[in-house]
Chain A
Amino acid sequence: MNYPVWDVPFLGAGMVVAIIAIIHVLISHFAIGGGALLFVAELWSDRQPDGERIREWLHKYATFFLVYTTVFGAMTGVGIWFSIQLASPEGTSLLIHQFVFAWAIEWVLFLVELTLLYLYYYGWRKNSRRLQVALAGLYFVIAWGSLFVINGILTFMLTPGGWTIENRDMAAGFFNPGYLPSLLIRTLVMFLVAGLGGLLVAARLEEEGGLKERIVVFCSRWVLPAALLLPGLSYWYWKTLPSNTARLMAAGATGLGGGRLEVMTLFAVAAGVAGTLLVLGSLLYQVRPRALGVAGAMALFVVAQIGFLGGEFARELARKPYVIYDTLYSNSLWKHKAAEAGYRQQPYLSLTRWDPDVVPLTPQHGEWAFRLQCASCHTRSGYRGIIPRTESWTPLSGFKWLETMDQQGVPPPFVGTAEDRAAISSYIQSLHGKNVGAAEILAEAQADGRRRSDGGETREVMP
């Protein structure tokens, strides 16, 4: 770690956030949907002659639920905070300041949620049946409330809607175009995950007297709402995406994007495939409940985890190159500032919050400029690595590419002087094992510029 820039080799900071997040997201959906399952199963068990035995299974479920959601949920939840503020301090700060009240509500809800869960779990033998049912139901309502809140902030990042950097209209940002479809999609998905958790616990039951069958059928039904409604809701959600994103995603499928950002589409496909498989898998056990084994149930959980990976990655990538769509780039550059006259022509390092104070045109200059301006999106040779992407660069072509890099489609505009560009180009050459000084590149570029103006040539198109 290189404070103040979080320079994670191979993965990149964004990827670390993403890895923690996809684990967390599965858990957090389970934490809410599982509450609904506890509540419904409590009611269901009351109506069954062997309700006691159903509740034995439910107790195992609750144990798994409690450990999995509170221990791992809390760990990964804190992990997300820890990593996002390192990956994007500006973005984190904006989200905190813009949604102070939402966060306050969210944390109160978390606290109540946890309290209710402990009351429910540890009161298993002592509490009356009615109290248990009420606690489970209340737990679900509060937990779902926490989704209601966080969903506004999450969807804001991709579809800020009527919110702008000038009006800072919290309500418009919170109830943004993506809010409702996303809320419904997540709600259905959490029911699905709750059912999968139920299957996992039921897989260990011995088959006797048809109890296992009934529980398995009960759990596998939780997939049905998602199976029926998700296609339509996904289409709705797709319709709310920024048109640019939607176009890129479609181009990724047809290959018209020339391979560019196809990854976003691939992740969306992964989510779709996983979702379809989950529906089929759950239906399989509805038909053959007796067959359910631990390996099978675990495999479905893995499918769900992969589905979350696909969905959340697609959502994250849909935002590239922004952290807050159309507002803040991933490298903490504000779009409105980049648009100000003269802003982009200032020496880059002097604009950063932690000026490393290096001597211009030294190798350190290039490295720091790369870290601060590029490393939030590109690793060196790992995820979205810069080395494979600059295979064909010469010192001069790199220098020129940087000047117009925002015209290449996705990357943000370059901020900095010719010296900064020469330094980065020199640094990138050094990554390829070639030693070309930044001052040399700058001189070459100036000579090239003079030749061009002497010859009366127009600007050459980039290779």
Chain B
Amino acid sequence: MTVDDTRRDPGIPVAAGREERSPDPRFVPIPPEAEERSSDPRFVPIPPEAEERFSDSRFVTIPPEAEEALPPADTVTGKLGRAFFRRLPVWPLVEFLSKKKVPRHRHSFWYTIGSMALFFLVVQIVTGVLLMVYYSPSQPWSSVQRIVMEIPFGGLLRSIHHWSANLMLLALFVHLFSTFFMKAYRPPRELTWLTGLALLGTTMFLGFSGYLLPWDDLSFFATRVGISELEKMPLLGTWIAGLARGGPDVTVDTIGRFYPLHVVVLPLLLLAVLSVHLFFVQVQGVSEPDSFRALPPEQKRYHRFFSEYLVNEIPIWMALAALLVALSALFPRVLAPEADPAAAAPEGIKPEWYFMVPFQMLKLFPGSLELLGMALTGLIPVLFLVVPFVDRSVPADRRGRVATRVGVAFLVYLVAMTVWGMVS
């Protein structure tokens, strides 16, 4: 029997003479061909060109500006900093960011709204992951009930997730309109604007998909109504609705679809689009309103982004964090009774406020007018999508002023419809 045989089949008894050398036949010495292989010339010496590459000037030297900016070489941070920049040639990036400025003017506050939305997103991810620990899509309602009733701080987490979702959407809408009125969508920032719209859309879908997951009365019927409105859409409506529900009605199979959408697909999409959005913002800087741009250079005042501006964001995030906890204490998210698909829909089922406009429009255009209502609702995103290609002039010209007026009308319309939908 050869060594190789033994290795292949541990069940075969080992010859007596071998035993002392290797008590366990499975652990025989390295076979000669393996021994040989390890001395394979491909694996042994570092090839000279690699040696060279490592000493490539890009990787070794620290630019003199960096050397200056870092703490002294004999301190721990100084050593770490040098080690870092010796390995990663990112000094130009650091330099770029350290020069980044944020304009200071009367409307500066609005710049913060985007970072507020970002903060809420972080809260959503953290609380969402924690909720996933106990949520089970096969027993949606009872697992949520367990989170609320039994799991320490489970009810709090759920309420925070709920409030943070709503405030994130609110922040996004405010961000949308504040950038709109600052005319930040104009060249060269069209793509920032478009990715921003995509982020808003994705977040709304996140809200829609998450709303069903607790499987209580409210969420079930609101989702059922929502999807059946979608169904009325011409051409693709039936197909989309069927795909979303996984059948002719909302069932546990729908959760099977919404859950992975809510926790994997949409968040990944959101993060991907967000990185593009933030990349643009970082590279191009925030836009300046015309009034600021018109100032003579000596009157333009700026905050340095690192760390002056950023440090002042932190207390704002803190206030938001405290606000989330306070809202969750004042208005905890209650879990309604488990959904009963056979029961009649409770009266006055309404979508969440951020879907109130299409809902209200469909109420206003009943029966055969429904398509008209849908078309009008569909116009809203279209108008936002085209505005950067229509209003392009800096400083604003006539078109710019028209865009502002349309924006004001839009804002009034959206708020009025939402409030109307909520109180009626």
Contacts and interface: CB of A to CB of B under 8 A. Distances in A.
A306 B308 contact: no
Contacts of A281: 314-315, 318
A77 interface: no
Given A263-B332, A302-B322, A296 B314 contact: yes
Interface in A288-322: 288, 290-293, 295-297, 299-300, 302-303, 306-307, 309-310, 313
A280 B315 CA distance: 9
B152 interface: yes
Contacts of B325: 266, 269-270, 273-274, 306, 310
Contacts of B150: 255-256
Nearest to A391: B337
Given A255-B154, A297-B315, A291 B329 contact: no
A295 B316 contact: yes
B316 A255 contact: no
Contacts of B152: 253-255
Given A269-B329, A310-B325, A388-B334, A255 B318 contact: no
A161 B151 CA distance: 35
B149 A296 contact: no
Nearest to B304: A291
A295 B155 CA distance: 31
A9 interface: no
Contacts of A285: 311
Contacts of A292: 312
Contacts of B112: 295
A266 B322 contact: no
B307 A273 contact: no
Contacts of B148: 255, 259
Contacts of B109: 295
Interface string B299-319: 000010001110111111011
A273 B322 contact: yes
Contact of B318 (A253, A262, A299): A299
A165 interface: no
A259 B333 CA distance: 11
Contact of A306 (B149, B307, B323): B323
A277 interface: yes
A399 interface: no
A277 B322 contact: yes
A266 B318 CA distance: 17
Contacts of A300: 315, 318-319
B311 A277 contact: no
Contact of B155 (A255, A273, A284): A255
Helix, strand, loop or mixed for chain B's interface? helix
Interface residues of A, number: 37
Nearest to B314: A284
A293 B312 contact: yes
B312 A303 contact: no
Contacts of A191: none
A77 to B, nearest CB: 23
Contacts of B176: none
Interface string A246-269: 000000011110110011001101
B328 interface: yes
Contacts of B312: 291-293, 295-296
A388 B152 CA distance: 24
B153 interface: yes
A306 B311 contact: no
Nearest to A317: B329
B240 interface: no
Give the interface centre of B148, B318, B323 by most chain A CB atoms within 10 Å. B318
B184 interface: no
Contacts of B334: 388
B321 interface: yes
A269 B150 CA distance: 17
B326 interface: yes
B227 interface: no
Given A255-B148, A388-B334, A266 B328 contact: yes
B340 to A, nearest CB: 14
A303 B322 contact: yes
B156 interface: yes
B243 to A, nearest CB: 35
A273 B149 CA distance: 22
Interface in B62-114: 109, 112
A379 to B, nearest CB: 13
A274 B326 CA distance: 9
Nearest to A254: B152
B311 A255 contact: no
A303 B329 contact: no
A300 B312 CA distance: 10
Given A291-B311, A291-B312, A296-B316, A266 B321 contact: no
Given A277-B321, A300-B318, A284 B311 contact: yes
Given A258-B149, A262-B332, A277-B321, A269 B156 contact: yes
A434 to B, nearest CB: 13
Contact of A310 (B149, B154, B329): B329
A263 B331 CA distance: 9
Contacts of A296: 311-316
A462 B152 CA distance: 28
B155 A259 contact: yes
B329 A266 contact: yes
Contacts of A313: 329
A307 B315 contact: no
A284 B319 CA distance: 14
Interface in B319-367: 319, 321-323, 325-326, 328-329, 332, 334
Given A277-B322, A302-B322, A313-B329, A253 B153 contact: yes
B314 A262 contact: no
A291 B307 contact: yes
A288 B326 contact: no
Nearest to B154: A255
A259 B149 contact: yes
A280 B332 CA distance: 27
B149 A277 contact: no
Contacts of B307: 288, 291
Contact of B329 (A256, A267, A297): A267
A273 B156 CA distance: 13
Given A299-B316, A302-B319, A290 B308 contact: yes
A297 B149 CA distance: 38
A23 B336 CA distance: 33
A309 B322 CA distance: 10
Contacts of B151: 255
B409 to A, nearest CB: 30
A292 to B, nearest CB: 7
A269 B318 CA distance: 15
Contacts of A274: 322, 325-326
A403 to B, nearest CB: 26
Contacts of A280: 318
Contacts of A270: 322, 325-326, 329
Contacts of A267: 329
Contacts of B323: 302, 306
B321 A273 contact: yes
Interface of A: 253-256, 258-259, 262-263, 266-267, 269-270, 273-274, 277, 280-281, 284-285, 288, 290-293, 295-297, 299-300, 302-303, 306-307, 309-310, 313, 388
Given A263-B332, A274-B325, A300-B318, 5 more contacts: A262-B332, A266-B332, A291-B308, A299-B315, A310-B326
Interface pairs A-B: 3 shortest CB-CB: A266-B329, A291-B311, A299-B315
Interface of B: 109, 112, 148-156, 303, 307-309, 311-316, 318-319, 321-323, 325-326, 328-329, 332, 334
17 contacts: A255-B150, A255-B153, A259-B148, A259-B155, A262-B332, A263-B332, A266-B328, A277-B318, A277-B321, A288-B307, A291-B309, A291-B311, A296-B311, A299-B315, A299-B316, A306-B325, A310-B326
